[in-house]
Amino acid sequence: MKGVAGKILRIDLTSGRITVEEPGEAFYRRYLGGAGIV
């Protein structure tokens, strides 16, 4: 998903913590399905 820079931003409103994750190909195949995504 290069259109979204391949990153997920997680924001914990309770603690104020912000983390940036870069999921791999397995994540996209599992949750978004199909080979056309990666």
Taking the C-alpha atoms of residue 4 and residue 20, their distance in angstroms, rounded to an integer, is: 13
Query: In the beta sheet, which residues pair with residue 32?
Result: none
Percent of the chain with pLDDT over 70: 74
Higher pLDDT residue, 22 or 38? 22
What pTM did the predictor assign? 0.50
What's the pLDDT tens digit per position in 5-19? 778 889 999 999 999
Using pLDDT thresholds of 50, 70 and 90, give the confidence band for residue 36.
low
Residue 38 · residue 26 · CB < 8 Å: no
